[in-house]
Structure formats: C-alpha cells, structure tokens
Amino acid sequence: MAEINRAIKGTNDMLPTDSHKYQFVEGKMLEIASLYGFREIRVPVFEHTEVFQRSVGDTTDVVQKEMYTFDDKGGRSITLRPELTAGVVRSVIEHGIVNGALPAKVCYIGGCYRYEKPQAGRLREFHQFGVECFGAASPAADAEVISLGLQVLETVGIKNISLEINSIGCPECRKNYHKALSEYFNAHIDTLCETCRDRLSRNPMRILDCKSPVCSSLAKDAPKVIDFLCDDCQNHFDGVKAHLDAAGIEYTVNPQIVRGLDYYTKTVFEFVSGDIGAQSTVCGGGRYDGLVSQMGGPKVHALGFGMGIERLMLALENQKTDFPEPKRCDVYIAPMGEVAAIKATAICTQLRRDGFEAQSDVCGRGLKAQMKYADKIGALFSVVLGDNELTDNVCNIKNMKTGEVQQISLDDFAEQFMKIKHDLVLNSLEDSIV
C-alpha cells in the first residue's frame, strides 16, 4: 500500500465505530472536573520551543530526545506540545488569570506529540485530559486534585487501579538530596548510560527516571528523596496524607516516584492500572510551585495532573467495559421518485430541528437498497414515501425491531413522531425495570 494511504507510525485513527466511546469518557472527564470548580481552557497545539525548555527541563528525555521541533517560515523555533501544563501556564500568565481571583482552576483535553518508540498505550500522537490549579498552597488542594482524578477514573469504569504518592521536596531540601545522589551514582559512573553520565552533573534526579535497565536497577538502591525532606515539605506531605485519609482514599507511599518533568516540587502522584501491561500509569501529576514565576509570572503556588486518554481506553478495553450504545438513526425515510425526495428533505429538516437524527436517500438508490442501508445504520424506524403516500398525505412508519406499523399524517409528521419515540422510550424503561 502506498505511504500516502497509511497513517504515520505512532498515530492512530479514531473511527466512527469507536468515537462514541471517547465522547462518553471525555464528557465524563469534563463533567467531573466541573463538580470541583474546574473550567475548560484550550491552548495552541504548538508553542515557542523555549516554553518547553524552560518548564519541562532541558535534562529530561522529553526535551532531549522526544520533542517535535522545527523552524517556521519566520525563522522561529516552534515545538508541537509534548504536554499541556507549560502551554496552560503560559496562557494564564499572558491573560492575567493568575492575577485574578485565586485559586484559578482550569481543565483541558488535547493532543500531545512525542517522538518515542510506539507501544501499547504509548503513541507519538496521544491525548490528555488534565487539570491545573493556581494559587493554592494548602495540602488540601493536593488531596482535592487527587480526589478529582480518582473520581474520573472510577466514573468511566476503571476498576484495577491504585494510587501511589511521594514528595520530592523543594529546591532547598533537594540540595542535600542531590549531593547524596551524586555521591551514590558517581560510585557507579562506569555502568551508567551515556545520557545519565551527563545528567549526573546537571540533575541527578533524572537518572531515577531513566528507562535503561542498568540505570533503573541502580536507581532502586539509590538514596530516597523522602529521607531528605525539610520540615516544611515533611509537614506538607503529612498534611496531604491526612486529607487523603479523611477522604477515605487509599494510597501507597512510593519513594521511587519522581515524575519525568523537572518542574515538580513537593507532592507527586500516579494512578496505576493493572490492566495495560508495562505502561501502567494512567494518570500522573503533582505540585509545581515554582513554574509560574520561572516562566515570567508572579510567585503562585500550582499543581495539577495529566491523564493519558489512550492508556485509559486501553485499560477499559482490557476490562471489556460496556460503553453506552452510540446514538442511532431515529428514522430513515425512503423516497420513491423526485417529488417524494423533496418531501423527505422537508420532513427530515423539521425532525432534525426537533432534535431527532433523521436520514433520507441522497444516492438515488432503489427501495430495496435503501431499506438495506436503513438496517445497516441501525435506524429505529423507517418510512417508505411514494406517490400513494403523497396523494393520501399519510404514510406508514415501521418499527425496525418489532415490525409494528403505524399510520401517521405527513402534515404533522414531526409532532406525531415525537409521540411515537416517546412511547418507545417509556416501553424500553418499563422492560428494563421488569
């Protein structure tokens, strides 16, 4: 097959047969976020490259290896967003949101782009749902954001999940930790990968996030950041745990969690699924109190999370989750002849304005082919519209499942169909109760 007829490696098409599943999940995400006071924000898919270099961190794999960066026609370095937090922070600074009423709560759904080896749950183009909260320093805010993530996962149907939390401290208490890490990894410098040897002098914490089997094995025995927390960071972490306990949210403290981006401080957390294999993290986030000022804004506390939608859908698929049925065609009108086709157009137009999905033939097919098409699209009702129906100003509407036929007037078709559909819904509810 010619390359032009194939999707680029690491990208997927979302087909009409699956789109209703994504619409359901994404709708629930925004719905739950609104219960916590988060409102949707939309930011550009590309930013100046410096936005990500300054925020994500130039020692991370994302910046060093995975970003799609190019020069535009004006000679500016542009990058497709590898994550959304940096662009959101840029936006709230530019538009003064962090100078208004705080906390400011925003949420989003959008595509991200990273050049890495495609595998199950990890694509080069992927989509994230996320939230960001600006202006809240209290551990209660950390627990609230975690609670929001948990409620989303539970609402869409994720069952086999666990919450892991950690604290990576603040820049002050991390100084001693970096020193201890450097001493530990310097003793094993000959076995580190080339990338981690460079990280050792710039940011040794990045070694803990290395995907190399050798470096990962060494990281297991490295000093734990939780043992180096200052009093303020320790009190904050204790407060987070107290609020999670009060909310009845179970968690495990995992000292290995550092997250893959440089802007995190204090609380970091991950929700892990047991149903998607090696790429098990479906949601990750934490606090990033210094990022807003680092990007030129005021000193504002901030925190949030990102949730990979493809990973989430993979977990739901592996669980064989039952999604709500996609919306079906309410009525298909099969016209016979040009005059009937014009009448069908008028009826369908009115039905659609009344909120019904109505279709009629636009291919000039015969009756047999039209009825076959109506069956394939799952039409609930069908109508044959020919000369006799036009002359008598009445037609027969057929329930495609039961075969029951009712006669209705063409003059007030939409009004009568509304009653028929209403009766069908009531009968379906009664059957489900029985």
Domain definitions of the chain by residue range: 3-170+230-318, 331-421
Between 281 and 297, the more confident residue is 297
Cα gap 288→307, rounded to integer Å: 17
Choices 3.40.50.2300, 3.40.50.9100, 3.40.50.11900, 3.40.50.800: CATH for 331-421: 3.40.50.800
pLDDT of residue 370: 97
Cα gap 60→206, rounded to integer Å: 7
Query: Above 70 in pLDDT, residue 115?
Result: yes
pLDDT of residue 377: 95
Between 427 and 4, the more confident residue is 4
Picking from 228, 229, 183, the residue whose alpha carbon sits closest to that of residue 207 is: 183
Cα gap 289→233, rounded to integer Å: 12
pLDDT of residue 371: 97
Would you tell me how many other CB atoms lie within 10 Å of the CB of residue 130? 27
Q: What is the pLDDT of residues 180-219, one digit of tens each?
A: 989 999 998 888 998 888 888 888 887 887 878 889 888 8
pLDDT of residue 276: 67
Q: What is the pLDDT of residues 142-182, one digit of tens each?
A: 999 999 999 999 999 998 899 999 999 998 888 888 899 89
Cα gap 76→70, rounded to integer Å: 8
Pick from 18-27, 118-127, 217-226, 420-429: least confident: 420-429
Q: Determine contact, residues 291/302, Cβ cutoff 8 Å.
A: yes
Over residues 355-367, the mean pLDDT reads 96
Share of the chain above pLDDT 70, in %: 95
CATH of domain 3-170+230-318: 3.30.930.10
Average pLDDT, the chain: 91
pLDDT of residue 275: 72
Q: Which two tokens stand for residue 73?
A: 């026609």
Q: What is the pLDDT of residues 30-86, one digit of tens each?
A: 999 999 999 999 999 999 999 998 877 766 667 777 899 999 999 999 999 999 999
Residue 293 DSSP symbol: H
Picking from 72, 140, 82, the residue whose alpha carbon sits closest to that of residue 116 is: 82
Query: Above 50 in pLDDT, residue 434?
Result: no
Over residues 419-432, the mean pLDDT reads 73
Q: What is the pTM of this model?
A: 0.88
Between 217 and 341, the more confident residue is 341
Q: Which helix (H) or strand (E) holds 47?
A: strand 46-48
Q: Determine contact, residues 414/354, Cβ cutoff 8 Å.
A: yes
Cα gap 175→178, rounded to integer Å: 5
List of residues 6+ apart from 156 with CB closer than 8 A = 24, 25, 28, 29, 312, 316
pLDDT of residue 169: 93
pLDDT of residue 278: 60
How far separated are the first and last CA of the chain, in Å rounded?
A: 53
CA angle 86, 90, 93 (to 5 degrees): 135
Which residue carries 């960066």 as its tokens? Answer: 69
pLDDT of residue 2: 62
Cα gap 391→395, rounded to integer Å: 10
